[in-house]
Amino acid sequence: MPTSRRQALRNILAGAVTTGAIGHMEWTNDLPKKRKGNIRHAVCRWCYSSIPLEEFCMGAKKIGIEAIDLVGPKDWPTLKKYGLDSSMCNGAEINLTDGWNEPAYHDTLIRQYTEMIPLVAANGYKNLICFSGNRKGKDDESGLQHCTDGLKKIMSLAEKHNVTIVMELLNSKINHKDYQCDKTAWGVELAKRIGSPNFKLLYDIYHMQIDEGDVIHTIQEYHPYIAHYHTGGVPGRNEIDDTQELYYPAIMRAILKTGFKGYVAQEFIPTWNDKLAALDKAIDICDVG
């Protein structure tokens, strides 16, 4: 995950403000592009940070996108203005490297997630992201135990508010050296130990193709533990067209066959001059029947 996403997350954390439930304001300009309705399309905000948020919301809406990922409380009113969901909320995490696998951070994380979970629910949202953090010398078992101990302390609150705490799988080979939750099986074991329907995984197709491959089989085997998907072209994390090695229509069909009803969010870095045209093309690719 490039530095731009890390910086975007820092900016959201720094600027997050408390908001209550906000009424939907109708946006009645051009009608959205009609989609097939099988995949619920979303997009990650940080990949398009050069486009002002209001302009981006209008563009996303016209493309037929339903939601925007990785947006914190200060920007929720803008999403609501355009009838867009906040499909993966953030703002409770410390950062991508300092996470639940380190007991020294538990007090801070528990406090921040305890504040954010009711806020997510009050605004009508369902998913709140979290991170394992980097290993920093910890073996798999120690990381699992520390994450389990800490996350269990917020799960009753998440269950009460019907908010799902979602840990993202990231590759540790290229983008996130030393990140601990870098294999699907490790994340699934953590979910089993936590034992709550309100803890699941964010399966990032780009990251897991890099660290373990076998994407479709992994989705088929572990789909009960997956709450959300991200895309990205491999290698390079750019467009998901025929310039890269993954065939996304087959991956989307595999996701549909599992009965998945959540969001698939585009998280590729566009190289086209017209970034929204690149996004539109990606949605076309993923909009399977």
Label residue 259 exposed, middle or buried (CB < 10 Å: 0-12, 13-18, 19+): exposed
Residue spans per domain, the chain:
3-14+28-286
Tokens of 194: 């936590």
pTM of the model: 0.90
The token pair at 286 is: 């993923």
Of the candidates 197, 124, 130, the one whose C-alpha atom is nearest the C-alpha of residue 158 is: 197
Q: What is the CATH number of domain 3-14+28-286?
A: 3.20.20.150
Cβ–Cβ < 8 Å for 229, 265 = yes
**Residuewise pLDDT in 10s, the chain (289 residues):** 444 555 554 444 444 333 333 333 344 456 789 999 999 999 999 999 999 999 999 999 999 999 999 999 999 999 999 999 999 999 999 999 999 999 999 999 999 999 999 999 999 999 999 999 999 999 999 999 999 999 999 999 999 999 999 999 999 999 999 999 999 999 999 999 999 999 999 999 999 999 999 999 999 999 999 999 999 999 999 999 999 999 999 999 999 999 999 999 999 999 999 999 999 999 999 999 8
